[in-house]
Chains A and B, each alone.
Chain A
């Protein structure tokens, strides 16, 4: 496709109400289809709501769940990204985002980074995904899926782009906070995310699609502000904060080709350099190699030397001449 029409479903899922949220998804898929959309993106946990806690197990679906199968079937001649609690065969619960195309599940991305700090408690209730893959799509350009916090780790957009993704899609349930009047758009969270998305689009010379939910779960409000960013960093769509709605933008694949030829950052990436240096860092952290940045005299795997090496715990005393 030379041009892809993307519809962002900036919805307010009902917490724990899977059936009601499924109806919303079916309705919006049809509405987007009527608007000529090629790709419809729903937010993180759009089928379940975010702050589930112990409800997570009660709304979890296996990939062969009939309710999911019916939703998948509704994507004939359409691509969609939907997100839900996925239960694996060994009964782990994941925050998953699935790319559905032409009535099939094309790819499932399980959230890699589960924030468990501040107002977040995801690791308590969910398992981490282990797989990061770009996937081919009926749309033409490769797709890279990520869920919310995944984008707060630089490696994720970079690996997806190197793996062939030209459209990076992040689905989020981002709670709005920090209303300091000095923020660019009056909301600290929105300011941070906008910076990230423009930066990633430029550094990976990819389209970045961000679909964030709205509405309220308990104390927290989700701020919306879904966006589509061009590989130049230009903003193609910026949905309003806090408003529910279906927002569309058209992207031209020629724009991405032009940017990647004019600014061949991806061509010049050095993945082997990453692997080499990361392997070294991993070995150093595990104490399997001398750590270049630790204090002289530090035991293997530790970065601070004991004040008095003679009284360091047994096993941590430096041997020989260190």
Chain B
């Protein structure tokens, strides 16, 4: 048996990949390519639009979309705010250059500053969420002008712990990487050829200079990914994961984060009144025969 299959092609030092999280990247890319083509085809679209931040998640999705439908069918929209890191923008531009896809730069500073004006009370959290929703609005507008579906770029780790903005970065027509943990995002990124600098750099929401996810949250992605994998995918109890070596304090904290974010992962409930209600007892595939755009 070949247990090396799917192992990262870059040196192991590029990132930590817990053994239990290693996946067969060839099969992952194949499934994702079919998924992307299927989602577009069923909806009657040939093109895709995504927001490219310079981080690893959106870079990987850009590569996956290009692999599935060709880079000429992809529009990457770069949407920095005035405090966003210039290095992020440079990384995003490098992805665009390497893929040869269409790109557009939309500075969201006037939109955000226009709303908050001189409101100095607005917290970083409020501003960050607002920026995410402005970017969503831009993408859905470009979905019309470019005639492409908006592709989501959120990963499984951040979705589980709720590190997303509801109706912001989580808004999309479909998401090809939402079932990949951050460690697996890195593994697939290495396999598909995402620039090494993007794979190596510390993940960041880029809400303020020097911010990193891991410093803010207080744990490393490989550790968090392993914990989530055992708790959720492998259904291990708190005591069982503590026996695996995780601190009880961390386990309980992450459990709370996961539980608190449940609402972000689901469609809002509709009050049940009539005989048939969408999502409850009116259940259809998202794309029905005859529903495609053309």
Binding site for B on A (CB under 8 A): 14-17, 51-55, 176, 179-184, 186-187, 214-219, 221, 241-242
Contacts of A16 in B (CB 8 A): 285, 288-289
Q: Which residues of B contact A181 (CB under 8 A)?
A: 3-7, 22-24
**What 1/0 mask marks residues of chain B from 262 to 294 whose CB sits below 8 Å from any chain A CB?**
000000000000000000001111111100000
Nearest-CB residue, chain A, relative to B27: A186
A23 to chain B, nearest CB (A): 14
Query: In the complex, are the beta carbons of A55 and B24 less than 8 A apart?
Result: no
- Across the interface, do A221 and B24 meet the contact criterion of CB distance under 8 Å? no
What residues of chain B lie closer than 8 Å to A214, measured between beta carbons? 34
14 contacts between A and B (CB under 8 A): A15-B42, A16-B289, A51-B285, A53-B283, A53-B284, A54-B284, A179-B6, A179-B27, A180-B22, A182-B22, A183-B24, A186-B5, A186-B26, A218-B285
> Residues of B with Cβ closer than 8 Å to A?
1, 3-7, 20, 22-24, 26-28, 30-31, 34-35, 37-39, 42, 282-289
A217 / chain B contacts, CB cutoff of 8 Å: 285
Please tell me if the beta carbons of A187 and B27 are within 8 angstroms of each other in the complex.
yes
- Apart from the given pairs A15-B42, A182-B3, A218-B285, 9 other A-B contacts in the complex at a CB distance below 8 Å: A53-B283, A176-B31, A179-B6, A180-B22, A181-B5, A184-B1, A187-B24, A216-B38, A219-B35
Instruction: Pick from B4, B5, B6, B35: contact of A216, CB below 8 A.
Output: B35
Q: Which residues of A contact B283 (CB under 8 A)?
A: 53-54
What's the nearest-Cβ distance from chain B to residue A96, in Å?
Answer: 20
The complex places the Cα of A176 from the Cα of B28 at a distance, in Å, of 10
Which of A55, A186, A187, A242 meets B34, CB within 8 Å?
A242
Residues of A close to B289: CB separation below 8 A: 14-17
Task: Report B289 CB to chain A, min CB distance, Å.
Answer: 5
Q: Distance (Å) between the CB of B284 and the closest chain A CB?
A: 5
In whole angstroms, what is the CA distance A180 to B180 when docked?
A: 12
Cα–Cα, bound, A219→B173 (Å): 12
Measured between beta carbons, the chain B residues less than 8 angstroms from A51 are: 285
- Check if A53 sits within 8 Å of B24, measured CB to CB: no
Which 8 A-B residue pairings sit nearest by Cβ, starting from the closest?
A186-B24, A216-B38, A179-B23, A181-B6, A53-B283, A181-B22, A16-B289, A186-B27
For residue A242, which residues in chain B have a CB less than 8 angstroms away from its CB? Answer: 30-31, 34
Distance, CA A51 to CA B31, complexed state (A): 17
Identify the closest chain A residue to B26 (Cβ): A186
Is B28's CB under 8 angstroms from A179's CB?
yes
Q: Which of B6, B20, B287, B288 has a CB less than 8 Å from the CB of A186?
A: B6
Which residues of chain B come closer than 8 Å to A54, judged between CB atoms?
Answer: 282-284
Contacts of A180 in B (CB 8 A): 20, 22-24
In the assembly, what is the distance between CA of A17 and CA of B292, in Å?
Answer: 12
Min C-beta distance of B163 to chain A, whole Å:
22
Measured in the bound complex, the distance between the Cα atoms of B234 and A189 in whole Å is 16
**A221 touching B42 by the CB < 8 A rule?**
no
Q: Which residue of A lies closest to B283 (CB)?
A: A53
Whether B34 lies near A215 (C-beta < 8 A) is yes
- Chain A residues near B285: list those with CB within 8 A: 15-16, 51-53, 55, 217-218
The distance from the CB of B7 to the nearest CB of chain A, in whole angstroms, is: 7
Cα distance A51–B34 when bound, in Å? Answer: 16
Do A179 and B287 contact each other (CB < 8 Å), given the known contacts A215-B38, A216-B34, A221-B34? no
Instruction: Give the shortest distance, in Å, between B6 (CB) and chain A (any CB).
Output: 4
Minimum C-beta distance from B279 to chain A (A)? 11
Q: How far is the CB of A11 from chain B (nearest CB, A)?
A: 14
With A and B bound together, what is the CA distance between A15 and B289 in angstroms?
7
**What's the Cα separation between A15 and B23 when bound, in Å?**
29
**Residue numbers in B under 8 Å from A187 (CB-CB):** 24, 27
Q: Is the CB of A15 within 8 A of B34?
A: no
Contacts of A241 in B (CB 8 A): 27, 30
- Which of B20, B27, B30, B283 is most buried by chain A, counting CB atoms within 10 A of its CB? B27
Does A221 contact B287, Cβ atoms closer than 8 Å? no
Residue of B with least CB distance to A179? B23
A242 to B24, CA, bound (A): 14
Residue of B nearest to A180 (CB): B23
Task: Please report the C-alpha to C-alpha distance between residue A54 and residue B22 in the assembled complex, in whole angstroms.
Answer: 37
Q: Closest CB of chain B to A188's CB: distance in Å?
A: 10
Contacts of B5 in A (CB 8 A): 181, 186
* Chain A proximity of B8: nearest CB distance (Å): 10
In the assembled complex, how far is the CB of residue B182 from the closest CB belonging to chain A, in whole angstroms? 16
Question: Which of A15, A17, A215, A241 has the largest count of B CB atoms less than 10 A from its CB?
Answer: A15
What are the residues of chain A within 8 A of B1 when measuring CB–CB? Answer: 184
Tell which of A14, A176, A187, A216 has the most Cβ of chain B within 10 Å: A216
Q: Which residue of B lies closest to A221 (CB)?
A: B31
Known contacts: A181-B7, A215-B34, A216-B38. The answer to whether A55 contacts B26 by CB under 8 A is: no
Contacts of A216 in B (CB 8 A): 34-35, 37-39
**When the two chains form the complex, which single residue of B22, B27, B284 contacts A55, counting CB atoms closer than 8 Å?**
B284
Kindly provide the distance from the CB of A58 to the nearest chain B CB, expressed in whole angstroms. Answer: 9
Chain A positions within 8 Å of B26 at CB level: 186
Residues of B within 8 A of A183 (CB): 24
Asked if A218 and B34 make an inter-chain contact with CB atoms under 8 angstroms apart, the answer reads no
Cα distance A242–B28 in the bound complex, in angstroms: 11
Which residues of chain A come closer than 8 Å to B287, judged between CB atoms?
15
B35, B283, B287 interface centre (most CB from chain A within 10 Å)? B283
